[in-house]
Structure 1
Amino acid sequence: MTGLLSVARTLDRCTVLGPGTRAVVWVQGCPLRCRGCVAAETLPFDGGTARPVAEVAGWLCGLDGIEGVTLSGGEPFSQARALAELLDAVRAERPDFGAMAYSGFRHEALRRGGPDRRALLARLDLLVDGPYVAARHGSLHWRGSANQRLIPLTDRYAHALAGPDTTAGIELSVGPDGSVSWAGVPPAPGFREGLEDRLAARGFVLHTEARRER
């Protein structure tokens, strides 16, 4: 494997961004500019950390007790070739590894895209598609606004999609250095600003590189 991924952040374990307990990879760079995006620091393509695909694959393969990985960002389909290579590498060791991705592009547009985007799409079990629309914000299953869709690409997660569509949530974690990070889908607009204010009142600072919605 010779590919590189521009990575904004990774998380070993998460239960609010897809079925079960899973790892999360937030890639750096997005061509879209959704109003109200709470991960604006992931938009520039010149940020993030360049990491070899083999290194990220090794990290995923070494994690115990996770069902699969969620790809977010940023825009995963802007790094479709490297992410397809990543999933192939992980499944060479863990064939039953699940894969879910977020994209600001509609499923139909991705299907008409280039070969790299179609290759990544073919390797996913579940897609959340469409841009975040602040005016349509909702407390929904793994997504932030009502225009976004949960699209099963295999039958792997059919059972997980059968429940109520009202399970948005977040997880907070405090690192050994006292840094605070969060992951998930905020239940209401303006979540980040309110969280920062409450944490600041208690002496915590929410670091820029740890802010994520998706």
Structure 2
Amino acid sequence: MTEVIRLSVARTLDRCTVLGPGTRAVLWVQGCPLRCRGCVAAETLPFEGGTDRTVPELADWLCGLPDVEGVTLSGGEPFSQAAGLAALLDAVRARRPDFSAMAYSGLRYEALRRGGADRRALLRRLDLLVDGPYVAALHGSLRWRGSSNQRLVALTDRYPDLRSEPDTGAGIEVSVEPGGALSWAGVPPTPGFRAGLEAHLAERGFVLHTQARRDT
């Protein structure tokens, strides 16, 4: 009997245009061994609290999204669940061979290459990687990155024009959900953005999600 591979998921988003090229789905995993000061997704840091999702379930979700060219893996730390995410990408590409993949990691590319077999397997399945920890003192409005020490590493030739495009922030996307709850995705343009936004919205009766949840 084949074991069903599971992932601990903090959140999913069907469509996003500010966390990678084109229109993408986003999957935030739950759990990160790093504790970058100023992390904008602090609710995803504990390894407890995520939603248990199977690889086939997540593959069905991704393959069922129309007009989405790929997925961005964030968190949390995707490489803490590297084996499951590699299996997920294989399952999706068995049905959608051109599906692209991008991931964020608080670890450097060189460290990931020297890591275990699972981490190297996930690297081999990625088109793009944003690497390195977020450093608040180096915050910048950069394309898909929060601080200037982070790099956008092309791992395939899928996106050859990236080097010639302006390295400017893509902004954030905000959505209001049923019941009036508000959530957002993207890389904040300024340090301290989340705390300021939460305070501003709280004054007007809106509350940002601060717990792991499930969108699909």
CA distance in 2, matches of 1:77, 1:210: 18
Name the residue aligned to 1:188: 190
Q: 1:210 to 1:177 in 2, by over 3 A?
A: farther
For structure 1, list consecutive stretches of 5 or more residues without a partner in the other structure: none
CA distance in 2, matches of 1:95, 1:177: 38
TM-score calculated relative to the size of structure 2: 0.95
- Deviation track 1:69-112 (CA, whole Å, cap 9, x = no partner) reads 00000000000000000000000000000000000000000000
Name the residue aligned to 1:78: 80
How many residues are paired up? 211
The within-5 A match list for 1:26-175 is: 26-175=28-177
Supply the RMSD in Å over aligned alpha carbons: 1.3
CA distance in 2, matches of 1:208, 1:30: 16
Higher relative contact order (CA 8 A, sep 6+): 2
CA distance in 2, matches of 1:168, 1:143: 9
> Is the Cα–Cα contact under 8 Å of residues 31 and 45 in structure 2 kept in the other structure?
yes
CA distance in 2, matches of 1:206, 1:88: 33
> Is the Cα–Cα contact under 8 Å of residues 49 and 212 in structure 2 kept in the other structure?
no
> Is the Cα–Cα contact under 8 Å of residues 50 and 212 in structure 2 kept in the other structure?
no
Amino acid at match of 1:92: A
User: Deviation above 2 Å: which 4+ runs of structure 1?
Assistant: none
> Is the Cα–Cα contact under 8 Å of residues 34 and 131 in structure 1 kept in the other structure?
yes
CA distance in 2, matches of 1:14, 1:161: 21
> Is the Cα–Cα contact under 8 Å of residues 180 and 210 in structure 1 kept in the other structure?
no
- Deviation track 1:154-207 (CA, whole Å, cap 9, x = no partner) reads 011122342111124100001122110000000001101111122112211112
- Does the residue aligned with 1:93 lie in a helix, a strand or coil? coil
Amino acid at match of 2:177: G
TM-score calculated relative to the size of structure 1: 0.96
CA distance in 2, matches of 1:177, 1:55: 26
CA distance in 1, matches of 2:199, 2:45: 23
Q: Pick which of 188-197 and 200-209 moved more.
A: 200-209
CA distance in 2, matches of 1:157, 1:111: 21
- Deviation track 1:108-143 (CA, whole Å, cap 9, x = no partner) reads 000001100000000000000000000000000000
Identity %: 78
- Deviation track 1:33-75 (CA, whole Å, cap 9, x = no partner) reads 1111121111111121111011001000000010100000000
For structure 2, list consecutive stretches of 5 or more residues without a partner in the other structure: none
